[in-house]
Structure 1
Amino acid sequence: MAGIHITDIEAAINYWRERSPSPDGVSLCKELRALAEVYALMVWFHETEADEATLPAKAREAWLAWYDTMPDTPCIAICSTSQGDETCKGCGRTFDEVQRWTEMTPGEKRASWRRIIIEGDAWRFNRYAERALEESGSGR
């Protein structure tokens, strides 16, 4: 199973902080407590990923509630892997990721999303600027 990156744990914490704010500035809802414990251990042990398979049940439930608010797929309906590219120019997923997407776990999908975002060179991030150049012939 994939690891859940600490930035996803932070995003889930912020989701729950907004959704269920502390009434007194000190106490936390059960979802925040579960995620905060995982986050604290990650920081303490200098880990950047929590194992998806061994995440405590309450923390997993809280993380999945946040995960369900995120777009499922980076697809923008321009799939160059169907034309033979190893990596899709539209969304940035590899051929294997495109083929296995429906079978992937939430952690595996988030790992793909993280890589795609870090690389930042898929058309989904540049509003098709590269595609427009190729179509006009000036990008050749």
Structure 2
Amino acid sequence: MAEIHIADLEAAINWWRERAPAGDGLSLAPPLQALAELYGRLVWARATTVPPEAFSAEAWDAWLAWYETTPDTPCIAICSTSQGDAVCKGCGRSFDEVQHWPAFSPAQKRAVWRRISAEGSAWRFNRYAERAVAGGASAPK
């Protein structure tokens, strides 16, 4: 089972901070509170990933709200797996990842996004980066 990386948890927290700032400067909005509690446990344990089942219902809903704002697929419409490549030169996903993408969970999709972003070798991250943005799919956040 894919786990959520701390960087995605931080991104969700920052997204919520922009949308639900503390009015009194002291208290957090409920979605932020839920994510912050999980983040605190993750940091306390010195862990970098957390399984989705460790999220409270409120934290999961808050994380999913952020997730819905991220691009679903890294595809830039240059699929070399259809030409027999094991890994797509356009997006960096494996043949199996491309084929099974619609069935992937949000955690699985974010794990793939994280891997291909870290590798940075796919064309979406270099020679066709502008195509990824212009085509409606943006680089991962």
TM-score (ref. length: structure 1)? 0.89
1:94-109 mapped onto 2 (5 Å cutoff): 94-109=94-109
The unaligned stretches of length 5 or more in structure 2 are 130-141
Q: Which residue of 2 aligns with 1:18?
A: 18
Q: Which residue of 2 aligns with 1:56?
A: 56
In the alignment, the residues of structure 1 paired with residue 113 and residue 90 of structure 2 have an alpha-carbon distance, to the nearest angstrom, of 13
Give every structure 1 segment of 4 or more consecutive aligned residues whose post-TM-superposition deviation is greater than 4 Å: none
Deviations 1:50-85 (A, max 9, x none): 101332111000000000000000000000011111
Deviations 1:25-52 (A, max 9, x none): 2110000000000100000001111101
- Find the residue that maps to 2:121 and give its secondary structure: coil
Aligned residues: 129
Asked if 1:32 corresponds to 2:35, the answer is: no
In the alignment, the residues of structure 2 paired with residue 74 and residue 51 of structure 1 have an alpha-carbon distance, to the nearest angstrom, of 23
Q: Which residue of 2 aligns with 1:137?
A: none
In the alignment, the residues of structure 1 paired with residue 37 and residue 73 of structure 2 have an alpha-carbon distance, to the nearest angstrom, of 29
Greater C-alpha radius of gyration: 1
Note the aligned Cα RMSD (angstroms). 1.1
1:121-132 mapped onto 2 (5 Å cutoff): 121-128=121-128
TM-score (ref. length: structure 2)? 0.89
The unaligned stretches of length 5 or more in structure 1 are 130-140
